[in-house]
A = this chain, B = another copy of it.
Amino acid sequence: MGSKRTAVETKRLIFEGCSRILQREGLSSLTLDAVAEEAQLSKGGLLYHFPNKVALIEGLFEYHNNIFEARLQELTAVEGDAPGAWLRAYALASIEQITDHENASLYASLLAAEEKYASAHQLMRQKYIKWQAQIEQSDIDPVWATFLRLAVDGLWTSIKNQYAPPDEERLEAIKDLILKLTKQSQPVS
């Protein structure tokens, strides 16, 4: 009856609890007590799995990073190795994630957490370095590729922070434009 949970299962429940709190109430509400309650275990139990809050946050970043990278890999497989393929996969994955409405506020809180937790920030920086390296090997002009990446990141930011984000129709147009431009190997004038 009611056998014990494994550590990985519990950790996943904890990460999901964290995410729900961040999305609903933001970083300031992500206290150990709140996480414990949301994940339906005690604070002591929570701290059994993560020695301290920093470790919890780091785990949370890895968790979400893995989700994103898994999707990214799926999409790169689809795009094959045509010029700009990787960049296109990056754009698609980014836009897909951020337009999932529940994710937007979650990501905003995660970004805020980076300011507070240096190790999480470091992790993200490493990821971007890796992605940027992929983009530069995308078989198109690196300045052009970087420029397009920045447009994707800017779109991501504008939606995440609700900085005058494009409406649905405009979003489609911009998305199409970005995808179209990734098929050019350099700027045209």
Interface residues of A (CB under 8 A from B): 26-28, 108-109, 111-112, 114-116, 121, 124-125, 128-129, 131-132, 142-144, 146-158, 161-164, 166, 170, 173-174, 177-178, 180-181, 184, 187-189
The reply to whether A152 and B154 form a contact with Cβ atoms under 8 Å apart is yes
Q: Which residues of B contact A156 (CB under 8 A)?
A: 154
A164, B115: Cβ atoms closer than 8 Å = no
Whether A146 pairs with B132 at a CB distance below 8 angstroms is no
Q: How long is the Cα–Cα vector from A148 to B177 in the complex, in angstroms?
A: 11
Chain B residues contacting A189 (CB-CB under 8 Å) are 180-181, 184, 188
Q: A26-B116, A174-B143, A189-B184 are in contact. Are A158 and B150 (CB under 8 A)?
A: yes
A177 to B164 Cα, complex, angstroms: 24
* Neighbouring B residues of A131 by C-beta, 8 Å: 164
Nearest Cβ distance between residue A15 and chain B, in whole angstroms? 19
| Bound CA–CA A164/B127 (angstroms) | 9
Cβ-defined contact, B163 with A146, below 8 A: no
Contact between A116 and B170 (Cβ–Cβ < 8 Å)?
no
Contact (Cβ within 8 A) A146 B129: no
Q: A28 vs B174: C-alpha distance in the bound complex, in angstroms?
A: 37
B143, B158, B162: the one within 8 Å of A173 (CB): B143
Given contacts A153-B158, A184-B189, whether A177 and B115 have CB atoms under 8 Å apart is no
Q: Complex: how many Å from CA A3 to CA B173? A: 60
Q: How far is the CB of A122 from chain B (nearest CB, A)?
A: 10
A147→B187 contact, CB < 8 A: no
Can you offer 24 A-B residue contacts whose CB atoms are under 8 A?
Answer: A27-B115, A27-B116, A109-B115, A111-B112, A112-B112, A112-B115, A128-B163, A131-B164, A132-B164, A142-B170, A144-B177, A146-B166, A147-B151, A147-B177, A148-B151, A150-B154, A150-B174, A153-B154, A153-B157, A154-B154, A154-B155, A154-B157, A180-B187, A184-B189
